[in-house]
Structure 1
Amino acid sequence: MTLLRHYLSAGTLALAVAATLQAPQAMAARDGASILKETCQGCHTPVGDKDLSRISQQRKTPEGWLMSIARMQTMHGLQINDEDRRTLVKYLADQQGLAPSETAGMRYALERRQNHVEQFEPKLAQMCGRCHSGARVALQRRPAKEWEHLVNFHLGQWPTLEVQMMGRDRDWLEVALKEMVPELAKNYPLDSQAWTDWQQQRPDAATLAGEWSFSGHLPSKGDVRGLMSVTVSGKDEFKVELKGQYADGKAFAGGGSAVLFNGHEWRANLKVDGVAMRQVLAANGGEIRGRMFETEHDERGLDFVAAKQGTAQLLAVQPDFLKAGSETELTLVGSGLSGTPEFGEGVEVLAILEQSPERIRVKVKAAIDAAVGVRSVSLGALKGVDLALYKQINEVKVVPAFSVARIGDNGGSTPKVQGRFEAEAWGKDAADQAYRIGFVPATWSVAPFDERAAEDQDVKFAGVMSAADGIFTPGAAGPNPARKMSTNNAGNLKVIATVEQGGQLIKGEGQLIVTVQRWNNPPIP
């Protein structure tokens, strides 16, 4: 597969990451420092005893370094083989990466959460976020001079910046140099106490070996739980095995390989139930947390959190809601679990059905007059997990509230990107304050979002919604002769979730834009 195909393929984490995971036993002929000197120094001149111009003035995630190297190959003719590129990404991410706290709040971009709605201050959103995510900016560190170089690079590479929307309404270059550069240097500096501390405290990767109890949630399939076995296969490399099940008893099992970058950036290629998947997780403080998703369809993924055996930690209660006046089963997931859980006043544990250090399954009864709202679950000294108790659903929200799906296939190289939705129930407590109950079953449908969508018959052409599970499959790519002006199967749709409660129907609505293929799909959007 060519470099360009790797770089633009849907769900790509990193070229070097994927290659390493597919062949972890392959050892590089040169180390990272040698590659920098022998391959990169032809353009990047030495600065001082060990630095190289431009390179040494940046810190990035593994995906960020991969994008830089790929750009050198595609735009500047860099000749580097897969093995050396893999080694170089690893070396740079280890030596010039980001501390865990420096990626906090921005990991959605690494985890391929394509429907996340960013919240940046207006200037950064307009000056940077109109062409790529704001997270791509926030996931790198540079001094002021290097941020200035980046501005100049953008203008040289894309000279129409100044006349595009939100560029022609201002002196773009002056704003970028005089206002954005100082702000970026202040908010995302090369040197930070967090990075200094992390370099001193960074744990040995081998400490991740062992058994991990995990919990997750996959839209359309529900909660999942099980064990992840991690064994060392090389320096910062691991073999991974997953054995678990969904709440309905269906198996969730597979395995593969993982690499750890910079002491906390976990990247794995797995095959789970016959499907190629990737893990983008953060390992920190005895916990691994992030997202798993299909390699070729990053919209199909699940939240994932795991705690290592030998520690006492409560990860989740499944399901995370309970109706007053009902009896049901609840499962606590974590590590080092023992004893009888407590769910607060009005909820009685009738029986312990299953108990192990990783899982406790109980039968509970909620009194009809138990106080509704969100309550803390405790297991001895362990806390940190909430249970919602409700009498009735007052509101249903579609999650995500705003989503994008993409047409594809039809003989083309780009697959369809589905829309995947869940119905989130909300209630009101005694103080009339809204609180989240949880994801509930719903019947799904779509409708025109506005008059133009109705006129263009978007519901007919844009795709099909599965009524049972909230999965929207967009239409085929390319011109459609059946549409006005033979346009493509794009559309603007209203997504409707209908939940039945006591013979009454409660509806929630969201918006789905069905648009064209994403041709440029880099590791960080």
Structure 2
Amino acid sequence: MAQPEETRSQSRFAEFGEGNAVNGHLGASAFLVTIMMKRIGWLLLLICACLTANAAAQPAQPVQDEGIPIQSELVRSRCGSCHKVDDKMRMTRISYRRASPENWEKTIKRMVALNQVNLDPADARNILKYLADHNGLAPDEVRPIAFEAERRLVEYTYTADKDTSDTCSSCHTMARAMSERRTKDEWGLLVSMHRGYYPLIDNQPMNGGQGFRRTRPVQTEPDADGRPPDNRHPMDKAIEHLTKTYPLDTPAWAAWSAAMQPAKLAGRWAVTGYQPGKGAIVGQVVVSADPNAGDSFNVDTRYTVARTGETVSRAGKAIIYTGFQWRGRGGLPGSDNVWREVMLVERDWKEMSGRWFTGAYDEIGIDVKLVRLSSDPAVFGSDLTALKTASTGRALKIYGANLPASVKPEDVGFGQGVKVTRIVSARSDEIAVEIDVASNAPIGPRDVSVAGAVKPATLVVYDRIDGIKVRPQAGMARVGGAVFPKQLQQFEAVGVHNGPDGKPDTPDDLDLGIVDVKWSLEEYTATFGDDDTQFVGTIDQKGLFTPNVDGPNPKRSGNRNNVGDVWVVAELAPTGASPKPLRARGQLLVTVPVYMAWFSAGDGK
């Protein structure tokens, strides 16, 4: 006879015994759990069947971010004790990251300094070369952040995501993060590494007013655009943005890694450039392949500072990473004045451009462009940047390559109102002439032509100097010399013509080039009794500011350091058209040294 449902339930409870109330309660609970699990099991089985049927109807999805196989036995043997290798030769961490040569170099140095990795210099260089070539960046990924490797002091604002910018750029440039491509897991592990090495960053206020973790009250109101509030931690927002914006696999890298080949750069190159405080430089670079090392070159450089005639020669070496990234180093034999070279090689191997630099903070530099030379004549520039109307017998030098040894005045042209009256001398790399400029010569930029070779906008014809400008408008130097090195700051003054509209600071203004001025410092008053000009340092008559020594100064009130801010003033003596001196100024901040330079400067070689 069938029992009522209530009786059946009571009978089943009894199967678990009739102990005290607690045991009876546990027994009943266990029974209910058993029944529930059976029902859930049937439900899960049904769901799995549906999912299986649906999956069979859908095309298989490709696995994302499979990683880059490491084919180098050297990398696997030296790094494999910590970074495990799978059956596809993918190594943990390494295969899921791409980076610039400088970032890979920092990683290798960190492995040696903090993880006790034992590497001899030759192995370290070869590992760096392999990783930069096979786990590197494509040209289109490097161009927007070329200033990072070129060590330029620029103002840069990352506008793609403010949370990411605040999280990353409080301690280093945003371009350092932009020099990476990683999987989502790798971006997360990078954040974890930062939190492990620097635990205070979780809650220490940074650019956005908070650290890696959210320290502000939870937002409940919608954002200004109506979206619901995003209360995730700043680091989680950054990981999401970096994963979407800088993934491991990109079309640019797929295309470049397939097309990349050893760059054939041997030959003669014309170099033109600009060094603040000195002006244009012109010359030649001879590049020869190093027979003992692939992608390596011996480099002989000779150039002239056009304005002064100073000649500079140096020899060095260079290496090419990822098929297009030139990293070089050169100087006079035995000299401590070593210049580093960072350039991007164009895909046709006919041009490269970038920056050469030196100094304790890489602050002294030359913006350069190299163009491969053929046997055809080429004009690089001239020693003058401006020609005044109504002037006669003006001496001028034209610099170039393969220039004709026999040249007539009519073979050299400067446009209307400028006449070459005499050829003083002619060599294959330099032609000296005398010129007359008519009083009614049109004002504006002029090309220079020699025997069919033309250099556009080489100089400017002008009738007066309307003003001068100090460059840069805002500079920075760092005290040093006792414990830390000094950071210098070079200034220059350029003449300005107001152009056709006669108004200053408009797009048609004409840059007349560097002018000789008197340099001085004036107080940038920021507080009562400001005395910065007495302690921050000195500026010479070439516009080079040298800061004072670092550390407390007992001669200064409060035993303060020799830091502060001042005006840098340039004064141009009166000319016939200007009865009064022309003045201009720029601001200079003299600050403390960089106390935490974790890694010494290197060029990735």
TM-score (norm 2): 0.73
Q: Deviations 1:418-474 (Å, cap 9, x if unpaired)?
A: 11111133322213433433222222111121232x7241111111111x1011111
Measure the CA separation in 1 of the matches of 2:375 and 2:234. 48
Letter paired with 1:403: G
Which structure dedicates a bigger proportion of its chain to strand?
1
Counterpart of 1:491 in structure 2 is 564
- Same amino acid, percent of matched pairs: 31
Counterpart of 1:194 in structure 2 is 252
Residues 164-173 or 95-104, more deviating: 164-173
Match of 1:231 among 288, 301, 309: 288
Is the 8 Å Cα contact of residues 110 and 524 (structure 1) preserved in structure 2? no
Q: Deviations 1:175-196 (Å, cap 9, x if unpaired)?
A: 5445433433444333333333
Measure the CA separation in 1 of the matches of 2:437 and 2:389. 5
Measure the CA separation in 1 of the matches of 2:441 and 2:184. 58
Deviation of the 1:92 alpha carbon: 0.9
Q: Deviations 1:89-136 (Å, cap 9, x if unpaired)?
A: 1111111222233222422221222x3222322715433222211221
Q: Deviations 1:260-319 (Å, cap 9, x if unpaired)?
A: 222222222211484322222222241232222236462223222222222766654544
Measure the CA separation in 1 of the matches of 2:566 and 2:93. 46
Measure the CA separation in 2 of the matches of 1:465 and 1:257. 34
Counterpart of 1:180 in structure 2 is 238
Question: Cα distance 1:495–1:402, how it changes in 2: closer, same or farther (>3 A)?
Answer: same
Counterpart of 1:17 in structure 2 is none
Counterpart of 1:249 in structure 2 is 309
Is the 8 Å Cα contact of residues 478 and 488 (structure 1) preserved in structure 2? yes
SS in 2 for 1:208: coil
Structure 1 unaligned blocks of 5 or more: 1-30
Letter paired with 1:246: V
Letter paired with 1:229: V
Q: Deviations 1:374-397 (Å, cap 9, x if unpaired)?
A: 455667475655533333333432
Q: Which has the larger radius of gyration?
A: 2
**Pairing 1:300–2:373 present:** no
Is the 8 Å Cα contact of residues 317 and 385 (structure 1) preserved in structure 2? no
Is the 8 Å Cα contact of residues 307 and 334 (structure 1) preserved in structure 2? no
Measure the CA separation in 1 of the matches of 2:545 and 2:302. 29
Deviation of the 1:67 alpha carbon: 0.6
Deviation of the 1:524 alpha carbon: 9.2
Structure 2 unaligned blocks of 5 or more: 1-69, 215-231
Match of 2:157 among 115, 119, 136: 119
Counterpart of 1:455 in structure 2 is 529
**Pairing 1:367–2:438 present:** yes
Counterpart of 1:283 in structure 2 is 345
Q: Deviations 1:398-437 (Å, cap 9, x if unpaired)?
A: 2222222111122x2x221111111133322213433433
Is the 8 Å Cα contact of residues 551 and 561 (structure 2) preserved in structure 1? yes
Question: Cα distance 1:514–1:189, how it changes in 2: closer, same or farther (>3 A)?
Answer: same
SS in 2 for 1:518: coil
Question: Cα distance 1:373–1:255, how it changes in 2: closer, same or farther (>3 A)?
Answer: same
Q: How many pairs are equivalent? A: 489
Match of 2:495 among 422, 425, 430: 425
Residues 59-68 or 191-200, more deviating: 191-200
TM-score (norm 1): 0.83
Counterpart of 1:394 in structure 2 is 466
Question: Cα distance 1:167–1:249, how it changes in 2: closer, same or farther (>3 A)?
Answer: closer
Counterpart of 2:171 in structure 1 is 131
Is the 8 Å Cα contact of residues 309 and 336 (structure 1) preserved in structure 2? no
Is the 8 Å Cα contact of residues 397 and 424 (structure 1) preserved in structure 2? yes
Is the 8 Å Cα contact of residues 282 and 381 (structure 2) preserved in structure 1? no
What's the Cα RMSD here?
Answer: 3.1
Measure the CA separation in 2 of the matches of 1:125 and 1:388. 42
Counterpart of 2:127 in structure 1 is 88
Residues 177-186 or 298-307, more deviating: 177-186
Measure the CA separation in 1 of the matches of 2:302 and 2:169. 40
SS in 2 for 1:59: strand
Question: Cα distance 1:415–1:177, how it changes in 2: closer, same or farther (>3 A)?
Answer: closer
Measure the CA separation in 2 of the matches of 1:97 and 1:272. 32
Is the 8 Å Cα contact of residues 458 and 490 (structure 1) preserved in structure 2? yes
Measure the CA separation in 2 of the matches of 1:188 and 1:337. 48
SS in 2 for 1:84: helix
Counterpart of 1:259 in structure 2 is 319
Deviation of the 1:511 alpha carbon: 1.5
SS in 2 for 1:43: coil
Deviation of the 1:36 alpha carbon: 1.8
**Pairing 1:464–2:522 present:** no
Counterpart of 2:373 in structure 1 is 309
Is the 8 Å Cα contact of residues 99 and 135 (structure 2) preserved in structure 1? yes
